[in-house]
Amino acid sequence: MRVLLFIFVLAISAFAQKTPIVNQLFESGNALAQKQQYEQAIEKYQTAAMYAEMEHLDDAFLAKIHFNVGVCLYQLKRRDEAVAEYKESIKLSRREYQKAFYALGMAHKDLENWREAENALRDALKINKSDGEAWFDLALIYLETKNFAAAEKAFENSIKFESIDSADAHNNLGVIAALQHNWNSAEKQFETALIKSNGKNAEAKGNLRFCKFYKKQIKASDWLAKLEFSQSSKRGE
């Protein structure tokens, strides 16, 4: 998943060349957000939105303001409020704001609203089907709901579209294969995860060890629970 503000990049284009006050407020909000002064940033954005509405600026600009407010609220762990801002951003963009759909999906994921998270990420992928990160996070949603077939396809797409979490995707594909008693395939996925992570993927390392040792055992059910999915990426660390 992309960490908001740093992976979910703040909208920085003001689209308000003839309104210097709005531009200044918007840019001040961005500067404060980059300094992690989120409460102050929200105040600047909201003031910018007020002036923008008074000056009848286009909805695309207002959509970016609401998106940035949502990002700040997300960082403040005010997830429900962030959801509302993302929805407003999507509405103002005529449902064309891919980043807002992605952010909405991640906020719903944190709230454990699995159906809403799935729908938002699917909408993000309708706009940009080559977003590897969106495919990866959609796959994690499917893992939460035990839809392993859909998760497998989504992880494969995340790899196809070069998600930065490809090592974790391979590890998770390995676990899915192992749950189906497809030991050779599982072993290959764990090995690939280790190669892609330069040997640093701890889950894949442990999973491969278990797989090699137990794949020929008749009673494998006792150890299957020891296999570990990569539940979240290390992107924000």
Determine the pLDDT at residue 5. Answer: 40
Mean pLDDT of 206-215: 83
Residue 107 belongs to domain spanning: 1-128
What confidence tens digit (pLDDT) does each residue in 5-55 have?
443 556 666 554 557 899 999 999 999 999 999 999 999 999 999 999 888
Claim to verify: residue 121 and residue 159 sit in the same structural domain: no
Domain boundary among 89, 105, 128: 128
Claim to verify: residue 16 and residue 124 sit in the same structural domain: yes
Domain boundary among 109, 128, 147: 128
Whether 83 contacts 107, CB under 8 Å: yes
Domain boundary among 87, 108, 128: 128
For the chain, give the longest Cα–Cα distance: 73
What confidence tens digit (pLDDT) does each residue in 121-154 have?
999 999 999 999 999 999 999 999 999 999 999 9
* CA nearest to 79, candidates 114, 37, 111: 111
Claim to verify: residue 20 and residue 80 sit in the same structural domain: yes
CA dihedral 104, 22, 53, 116 (to 10 degrees): 0
For residues 9 and 106, give the distance between their C-alpha atoms in angstroms, rounded to a whole number.
14
Domain of 137: which CATH number?
Answer: 1.25.40.10
C-alpha distances (whole Å) from 166 to each of 16, 53, 128, 153, 195 are: 39, 43, 18, 13, 11
Determine the pLDDT at residue 2. Answer: 47
Claim to verify: residue 104 and residue 151 sit in the same structural domain: no
- Cβ-based burial of 18 (10 A; exposed 0-12, middle 13-18, buried ≥19): exposed
User: What stretch of H or E contains 45?
Assistant: helix 38-54
Claim to verify: residue 186 and residue 237 sit in the same structural domain: yes
Q: Taking the complete model, does pTM exceed 0.85, yes or no?
A: yes
Claim to verify: residue 7 and residue 113 sit in the same structural domain: yes
For residues 164 and 1, give the distance between their C-alpha atoms in angstroms, rounded to a whole number.
9
Say how many domains are in the chain: 2
For residues 57 and 40, give the distance between their C-alpha atoms in angstroms, rounded to a whole number.
23
Claim to verify: residue 154 and residue 225 sit in the same structural domain: yes
Mean pLDDT of 156-182: 95
Determine the pLDDT at residue 14. Answer: 52
